[in-house]
Amino acid sequence: MKRIVIPLAFVGAIVVLLGVSVFWFVYSMQRTIVLPSVKPAEAKPAPLTYDDMEKLEGKGEQAVGQIPRLLACFETDDEDVRIKASETFKEIGVKAVGPVAGMLTHKDAKVRFYALHTLALIGPDAVTAVEGVRACLQDADSEVRYKAAYALGRLGWCSEPVIDSLSKLIVDGDDNVANHALEALEKLGPPAAKMLYPMLAIKTDPRRERVLALLVKLGTPSRDAVPTLAELAKEPSSQSIRGNALRLLGRLGTDALPALKDALKKADPNDDLDLMPAIAALGPNAKELLPELSSYLANRVFWDAEQEAMTPFKASGADGAKALAGLLKTMQAKLGNPLDHREMAVLRTLGAMGSDAKVAVPTLARIIHQGT
């Protein structure tokens, strides 16, 4: 019996000691560990009133100190307050860019809209926010997309990613978005044109027509664009594409002569209002086109761009007058007397050419003689 009792007593003593040790350890830890207190959520800054913001006008650093409350204005339902906050941020300038850009990912579309509006007001000084603004071009809300395009135009940062993103929006399903994307690209100016021309070579690209119309506003293309423009000048499916391609070719001088000569041989009569100004834009360089131009005009019943059609002849001096005399002779052979409106246009042009028109005198004398 003693053999059993003594070991059991020994085991019991060990269990008691372990229990006391664990208790003392837990008790000690509770006294030494300080649990972190849970701070209550900080209240959002209250938005400024319209009157508050009027008082901040011209106050500089004082206005900077109110940035959190100005940001809160974007979350109000008062449009006047939101607009006034944007105007106040504009006065603050560069120091407002970071905080305002932080609102571009806000869950509320109207907050994102006014953040973009504010950055647009700040203008080029807000260029550090360009990537955040560019991301908003993909926003689900069409109002945010259009304001993002508008803002990029005002920031003035012309980079390949910006041009690529804006160009995708020119075929946006929302016309307001598409139009603002085009306006932004136009504001970015000629540097944007260089990045837009490669799109024209892709026949299946739905942006070609609108890009071409935009490029006409952006000045003279580079010589590298001639082959692409020459192909577009033959585009059978769209007069708009043909017309704008012809106008751009007209700015390229002698580099465009082969393409314009080809156009005169195959031109659609509906292209007159674009083809004639394109050739007129060549000035004296159009002299090489006078034979093709004379043949083209002789076969046209109406000259929709009469003044522009006569310009290359005037610019070519005596050679132009000689070509006009030949044109007049050809039309007389077809029509005889009396003179029609086209022949009268030729005569008026010769009359305005002064001494250069002397070479046409024999032809004129013959016509006068035949008419008597």
Give the distance from CA 54 to its chain's centroid.
35
What pLDDT shows up at residue 5?
45
Report d(CA 128, CA 157) in Å as an integer: 10
- pLDDT tens-digit map of 55-112: 998 887 788 999 999 999 999 999 999 999 999 999 999 999 999 999 999 999 999 9
Instruction: Output the pLDDT for position 341.
Output: 86
State the pLDDT at residue 11: 45
Could you tell me the fold of the domain covering 45-155?
A: Leucine-rich Repeat Variant (1.25.10)
Kindly state the tokens that stand for 13. 């003593």
Query: What are the tokens at 88?
Result: 């106040």
- Largest Cα span, the chain: 162
Nearest to 197 by CA among 172, 178, 216, 183: 216
Give the pLDDT of residue 21. Answer: 53
The whole-number pLDDT of residue 371 equals 56
The model's pLDDT over 308-359, given as tens digits with 9 standing for 90+, comes to: 999 999 999 999 999 999 998 888 887 666 678 888 899 999 999 999 989 8
In the predicted model, residues of the chain with pLDDT beneath 50 are 1-2, 4-11, 13, 15-18, 20, 22-23, 25-27, 30-36, 38, 372
Give CA–CA dist 323/235, Å, rounded.
30
Closest residue by Cα to residue 275 from 262, 284, 288, 291 = 262
- Give the pair of three-digit tokens for residue 185: 């690209």
Distance CA 166, CA 181 (A): 5
Tokens matching residue 125: 């000084």
Map tokens 């929709």 to a residue.
304
For 13, 19, 27, the CA distances from 22, given in Å and listed in that order, are 14, 5, 9
Buried b (16+ CB within 10 A) or exposed e, 278-305: bbbbbeebbbbbbebbbebbbeeeebeb
* pLDDT score of 12: 52
Give the predicted TM-score (pTM) of the model: 0.79
User: How many residues make up the chain in this entry?
Assistant: 372
CA distance 13 to 328: 133
Distance CA 70, CA 98 (A): 13
Instruction: Quote the radius of gyration of the chain (alpha carbons, Å).
Output: 39
Structural domain spans, the chain: 45-155
| Integer angstrom CA distances of residue 303 from 40, 43, 129, 299, 344 | 81, 75, 53, 10, 12
